[in-house]
Amino acid sequence: MSENTSRFEINGSTLRMCSSQDPEVIVPDGVTEVGDGAAMTFFQCRSQRVHLPDGVERICGYAFFNCMMVEQVRIPDSVTTIEHHAFRQCRSLKAVELPDGISTIERECFWGCLGLQSVKLPAGLKVIEEKAFSGCVNLSSIVIPEGTELIEDGAFWGDGMLTKATIPASVTHIGEMAFCDCRNLTIHGVPGSAAQAYAAENGIPFQAL
């Protein structure tokens, strides 16, 4: 990696800006927050692969917003918070593996990630907020982990390639249009659960686990 093409603006332990032009960028050790919620931290970055170091705890809102080139982001297990709109419109992002310490996927976090094909949700997940994965048109399946309680309005709206959603009995509420325009979807769940009720109310095929 060339030193003069990987540029960082770091304030204390907060990464405020990365304008790397390298295929891969490794964020320096000591960073605990990515972004400050006010700036699009990686907007000028042209890297395909981003490596966040161990010790990062928070990825702030809009950090990767509209980062068109990024295909892969290494998110360390130390991350417990990924804020709203953090990866919105990362159109080349292909796969996401979220650390188990994250309890909420905030609103529009992965909205419009057109290339996203694979998502591993955290074991500690409780809430998927509104439109968190809306417009992920190449996502084909999703497994909601046991212990998740809420899937909010429009969470997977417009995910046209989604064919299978596995939803545990722990989910007690599925919001309006959570799976709207998922025309090829079958919901897999426990008989008598909120998942079965949602499927029946919205004319979605249901497969008992």
Return the pLDDT at 36: 87
Domain 94-204 has CATH 1.10.10.10: no
Residue 28 DSSP class: P
Return the pLDDT at 6: 59
Averaged pLDDT, 174-184: 97
Averaged pLDDT, 159-165: 98
Q: Are 129 and 107 in contact (CB under 8 A)?
A: yes
Q: Where in the chain is the domain with CATH 3.80.10.10?
A: 94-204
Q: Are 190 and 166 in contact (CB under 8 A)?
A: no
Q: Are 193 and 166 in contact (CB under 8 A)?
A: no
Cα separation, 13 vs 200, whole angstroms: 49
Cα separation, 116 vs 91, whole angstroms: 8
Mean pLDDT of the chain: 95
- Over the Cα atoms of the chain, what is R_g? 18
Range with the lowest mean pLDDT among 4-13, 26-35, 136-145? 4-13
Structure tokens at 72: 């892969």
Cα separation, 89 vs 66, whole angstroms: 5
Helices (H), 44-185: none
73-113 pLDDT tens trace: 999 999 999 999 999 999 999 999 999 999 999 999 999 99
According to DSSP, the residues that pair with 119 across neighbouring strands are 96
Is the pLDDT assigned to residue 4 strictly greater than 50? no
25-72 pLDDT tens trace: 999 999 999 998 877 999 999 999 999 999 999 999 999 999 999 999
Return the pLDDT at 38: 73
Q: Are 165 and 137 in contact (CB under 8 A)?
A: no
pTM over 0.75: yes
Return the pLDDT at 99: 98
